[in-house]
Amino acid sequence: MSIQYSIDSTDHIRFINEAWLQFACQNDGAHLSRAYVIGKSLWEFIDGEDNRQIHRLILNTVRATQRVQEIKFRCDSSVCRRYFLLTVSPLPEGELMFSTHPLREDSRSPVPLLDPDVKRGRQYLRICSWCIKACLSNQNWVELEEALSRLDLLGGGIMPNLTHGVCPDCQGTIEKELKNPK
């Protein structure tokens, strides 16, 4: 089943489907009820300025061209890699429909960095909202497992908080796809 939500012309959430609610509940978002979400600005739920910029580009492109855009992304849990296809469709009067379709899921050993119940410290680690790679201090983006190893986070230390951004590879891919729709 496709996870769906829509926004109005001012980017306020108008609709979320049952699959959206189920996915939220399964991913530490049980507080995200219809009453909580409907009417709020989409931008309240998107972390990181570079991530907000790429979302604005997607929204503006769909509204300006009145064409559907499709973008692949990941939304991992601590025990699996999840691959999705995001479809953004124009609706009348500047409204947009977002549909997220699962493509596949790959099991993996638990990654404590993605476990919402793990104790967190004061430090932050930026991850790409689209491919889930982590940004190390030298602007090098690596898979989470490599980041855990390189940052010595497997030794039982306190995990950093996560913040979201967009890696250069995903930024370039999304911009290219928006310029050359399928």
Q: What is the DSSP code (8-state) at residue 12?
A: B
In degrees, rounded to 5, the angle at the alpha carbon of residue 30 between the alpha carbons of residues 27 and 36 is 125
Burial class (CB in 10 A: 0-12, 13-18, 19+), 123: exposed
d(CA 62, CA 172): 18
Helix axes 168-179, 49-65, angle to 10 degrees: 10
Print pLDDT tens along the chain (182 aa).
Answer: 799 999 999 999 999 999 999 988 888 777 888 888 999 999 999 988 999 999 999 999 999 999 999 999 999 988 999 999 999 999 999 999 999 999 999 999 888 888 888 888 888 889 999 999 999 876 789 998 888 887 776 566 688 899 999 999 999 999 999 988 66
CA–CA distances in Å: residue 85 to residues 113, 120, 148, 150, 169: 24, 30, 27, 30, 17
